Chains A and B, each alone.
Chain A
Amino acid sequence: MVDKKRKHPKEIIKAEANSLNFFYADGTQALKKISLPVYENKITALIGPSGCGKSTFLRCFNRMHDLYPGNKYDGEIILHPDNTNILDKRVDPIEVRMRISMVFQKPNPFPKSIYENVAYGLRVRGERNKRVLDDKVEEALKGASLWDEVKKRLHDLAFNLSGGQQQRLCIARALATDPEIMLFDEPTSALDPIATMNIEELMAGLKEKLSILIVTHNMQQAARISDYTAYMYLGELVEHDETDKVFTNPSKKETEDYITGKFG
């Protein structure tokens, strides 16, 4: 893609991928020369058919691929304002994950109480002060619109919550450490329509504070919530533009075919 800074000059770039290639341990190339900006206080949606590499791309932003031996990144993801390539070997993935948090496809609360789930990120950062923890947990649960439902049973096991509540708990957990970017990997695909609506409303509010990158299978969802949309196909970025433009007047034929349902 050509220079994104000129394409959307009014936006501030929070992070940007520059000719990012990614190879799995078995040698398959899952991402091919992807260049994509993530704008500050905006929601960027990644759409595309299964296997197009959108989740793989998302998981590069918090170095999740480091967990499995043999995976290889090539290219860069620059995080601002540090102006540092977070894929650099000298960068500590733990430091990256402290600032770029993630919400997964299936709610994955820890086998702990609601309170301890939200406090987890702070605890691993060494926070012991109960007052600080209490405040942060409350703030994060409010941020995830879960506080009113759980404030009387903070010490109940998180597994007792419903699926939608568990996912909001995971959002609260990710929020508690004040991340700069939040990654969402199909966060509503395991949820019913009402829980989905709650999460979408939540994300619309969250972008006031941080930048969001979301992978979704649901094109209506991308159209509803995102400011920018990127369409990926077979590991390549086909088109990236303002969501309105991508959905009403895509510049590429492939994008149009996918969005109109002729393909996919």
Chain B
Amino acid sequence: MAKLENTEVSPRLAKNLRRNVLERCIEFGLLCSGMFAIFITLAIIYILVSEAIPFFQHVSLYDFLTDTVWTPNYSIKHYGIMALVSGTLTTTFIALLVAVPLGTITAIYLSEFATHKVRETIKPVLELLVGVPTVVFGYFALMLVTPLLQKIYPDLTTFNMLGPGIVMGIMIVPYIASVAEDAMRAVPMAMREGSYAMGATRFQTAVKVITPAAISGIIAAYILAISRAVGETMIVAIAAGQQPNFTFNPVESAATITSYIVSVALGDLEHDGIGFQSIFAAGLTLLIMTLMFNIIGHAVRKKYAERY
């Protein structure tokens, strides 16, 4: 094609300045709100790391990870984070033992069996459970669940990991049920019809077709549940005893990372002492643990998303 001699652009086709500026402004505004969340996250990491550095100048990383006694407030000080990690892992494990089967079964029921009316009744009630303050769950564990467990197992101490673990599991059920149900309902109807047309029952369809089809969403629900359990504070602070104790035995009392942080942060410790700094080291550990679970979850999700 011949090049145009005339380099003028017709005013009807020229760039619209007003629209372009407005579009830029909107884009910038959106970018800012996106950056805000990232900025906060980075700020949290910065605080954690900068406060943890002086702590690790006193305590070697080796001791921190291998010592199994955690007594920052005693005269003989030990900083073995494993005493807190064990509490976090044990309560989380108990919670998942309750929440994963219950939540998954609830999701299967709501998505594949319940009539529209039943689903629309149960879902809001379940989601109400999410709104219950965790401090209420904590007392529920301490005043009701533990005494009930003591009837079955009389040696159980008042403060233990079993009661709060179970209650934490109950608290997480709606998270799993809701996210997993959304994933299952997103499976196209054609898939369901295909299964029913083969003579499958509802249960066979739910377990053999819908669950594998929705597996990556279901695993996402489990990851959310793990993060929620690992980070849960009030329930364990109230009902598990706040005793740093290196044990995986659920009937013993213990402190989790979160319950240690809250007890120190609320106590009257000097704000520049090593005892205070220890909560940042603990917080950093918690952050890394959650991150690890998320990465593992993502990897598992990806693997299943490919296979199924």
Residue ranges of A at the interface with B (Cβ–Cβ < 8 Å): 62, 64, 67, 69, 94-95, 97-98, 101-102, 104, 106, 108-112, 120-121, 123-125, 157, 170, 173-174, 177
Contact = CB atoms under 8 A, between A and B. Distances in A.
A108 B199 contact: no
Contacts of B195: 110, 120
Given A67-B192, A104-B193, A157-B308, A111 B199 contact: no
B191 interface: yes
Contacts, number: 70
A124 B208 contact: yes
Contacts of B192: 67
A120 B198 contact: yes
Contacts of A69: 115-116
Contacts of B193: 64, 67, 104, 108
B194 A97 contact: no
B54 interface: no
Contacts of B212: 110-112
A104 B195 CA distance: 11
Given A106-B190, A110-B191, A111-B308, A101 B209 contact: no
B39 interface: no
A174 B188 CA distance: 19
A166 to B, nearest CB: 11
A97 B190 contact: no
Taking each of B195, B199, B201, B213, which has the highest tally of chain A beta carbons within 10 Å of its own beta carbon?
Answer: B199
B102 interface: no
29 contacts: A62-B197, A64-B193, A69-B116, A94-B201, A95-B199, A97-B197, A97-B198, A98-B199, A101-B197, A102-B197, A104-B194, A108-B191, A108-B194, A109-B194, A110-B191, A110-B212, A111-B191, A111-B213, A112-B308, A120-B195, A120-B208, A121-B198, A121-B199, A124-B200, A124-B201, A125-B199, A170-B194, A174-B197, A177-B198
A67 B196 contact: yes
A158 B33 CA distance: 42
A133 to B, nearest CB: 14
Contact of B198 (A101, A112, A157): A101
A94 B199 CA distance: 5
Interface string B270-308: 000000000000000000000000000000000000111
B308 A124 contact: no
Contacts of A177: 198-199
Nearest to A69: B115
Chain B contact residues (Cβ within 8 angstroms of A): what range? 20 to 34
B255 to A, nearest CB: 43
Contacts of B188: 108
Contacts of A125: 199
A174 B199 CA distance: 10
Contacts of B190: 104, 106, 108
A95 B196 CA distance: 11
A260 B204 CA distance: 47
Interface in B155-203: 188, 190-201
Contacts of A109: 194
Interface in B103-158: 115-116
Taking each of B188, B201, B307, which has the highest tally of chain A beta carbons within 10 Å of its own beta carbon?
Answer: B307
A224 to B, nearest CB: 25
Taking each of B192, B198, B204, B215, which has the highest tally of chain A beta carbons within 10 Å of its own beta carbon?
Answer: B198
Contact of B196 (A97, A106, A173): A97
B268 to A, nearest CB: 57
Given A67-B192, A69-B116, A94-B200, 11 more contacts: A64-B196, A94-B201, A108-B188, A110-B212, A111-B213, A120-B208, A124-B198, A124-B199, A124-B201, A157-B307, A174-B197
A157 B307 CA distance: 6
A215 B307 CA distance: 33
A173 B188 CA distance: 19
Contacts of B115: 69
A110 B213 contact: yes
A110 B308 CA distance: 9
5 pairs of A and B residues whose beta carbons are closest in the complex: A98-B199, A111-B308, A102-B197, A108-B190, A108-B194
Contacts of B306: 157
A120 B197 CA distance: 11
B112 to A, nearest CB: 11
A137 to B, nearest CB: 14
B37 to A, nearest CB: 33
Contacts of B209: 110-111
Contacts of B215: 111
A197 B197 CA distance: 25
A173 B215 CA distance: 23
B21 to A, nearest CB: 46
Nearest to B198: A121
Contacts of B201: 94, 124
A136 B191 CA distance: 22
Taking each of B191, B200, B201, B213, which has the highest tally of chain A beta carbons within 10 Å of its own beta carbon?
Answer: B200
B198 A174 contact: yes
Nearest to A109: B194
